[in-house]
Structure 1
């Protein structure tokens, strides 16, 4: 599961290596993806390496080896995942249609739905959410809305503490590209950084507001912010 920017970078590296036999420089990658700094390229390269698409070779300049390609770039289809693995996906939030159990405890168990924890989400400085989906969390069906897909993310940071969202909490997200003022959303910034913030529209700009006075509100052009989901629930372990 690659973001649009990750896929664009992988395609650019592959094209250049097929043409010239060597990978492009970080400056060339930055220019090709229209990013403002090389730090964004470093994050994308790290994400591609963590997902097994590329390998960086030590002690060699510009040494990147492509290990595999997704099907959209001509790679082989993925092999079926065994019982011990997991294919990243989101799960529909509708309640199961099983008959009502006889007591309240059984009702809660019967309506629990396993969602994949798709990585970490920043409640602070934006980071890249890692879509590994290696761990599931059981979510009460009553927490999910009846429409759309849902997934879970682990919160990293303290910028949303006054909204009751702490470091280490698991947030439940309904997948959507739409948001209203005041919604707490998963927002992708400039195509590669992901953060959890309160959304506010300001004409042709978007304000991503923290719920902690120690963190500043970020105001960005609307075309640099992509809403990927809206907060619908929270799970905390003690």
Structure 2
């Protein structure tokens, strides 16, 4: 049984290796996780080798056991490319590339909210959707944020700062932007992703 940190290290090694074509060094792994001691990373790697998730192939080199990797990460799905909603596709058995949604779902500093209303539909955020919100106060202009107005009313809008004011912009052309003095608005988090059940969707045409 792997610890949460060991799972994170395994996932990082897999992504790094896939993107760059070679394994990360102990220092690169330590830097990614904000650790100063590479000895800690070495201990985690020994555990991953012992449990069969990694196989040593040389000094500082590893081969990833893909079957164990995907067993350990149930929120990964085989990625087979694009579909034009017309032609059938050929499902391949041997594939390495996967769509990874663990960063979206498994977030230490995140929480979920269910959307109510239609103010963000042009950003493809629909009534009934579940949004994953990263709990942070710093927000960039244009990000979709959960904000609290006057400490009471919460809303989901695109966030902009404008000379002492905050502009909250709905993604619905039938609605107007809202303006508030900056001190009246508290950022509760920034939208990281959306979860939507196809089963729950109603036909809109």
Name the TM-score, length of structure 2 as normaliser: 0.51
Aligned residue-pair number: 119
Contact between 2:7 and 2:72, CA under 8 Å: does it hold in 1?
A: no
- 3-state SS of the aligned residue for 2:74? helix
Correspondence 1:218 to 2:184? no
- 3-state SS of the aligned residue for 1:102? helix
Name the TM-score, length of structure 1 as normaliser: 0.44
Correspondence 1:187 to 2:147? yes
Kindly indicate whether structure 1 or structure 2 has the higher relative contact order, using CA contacts under 8 Å at least 6 residues apart. Answer: 1
The equivalent of 1:229 in structure 2 is 189
Contact between 2:168 and 2:178, CA under 8 Å: does it hold in 1?
A: yes
Change (3 A) 1:232 1:191: same
Higher-Rg member (1/2): 2
Q: Identify the match of residue 101 of structure 2 among 106, 123, 140.
A: 140
Instruction: Give structure 2 stretches of 5+ with no counterpart.
Output: 11-47, 54-65, 77-99, 199-205
Whose helix proportion is higher, 1 or 2? 2
Change (3 A) 1:195 1:106: same
CA RMSD of aligned residues (A): 3.1
Matches within 5 A, 1:1-238: 96-97=7-8, 102=67, 106=71, 108-109=73-74, 140-143=101-104, 149-238=109-198
Once superposed, which parts of structure 1, at least 4 consecutive aligned residues long, lie more than 3 Å away? 93-101, 103-108
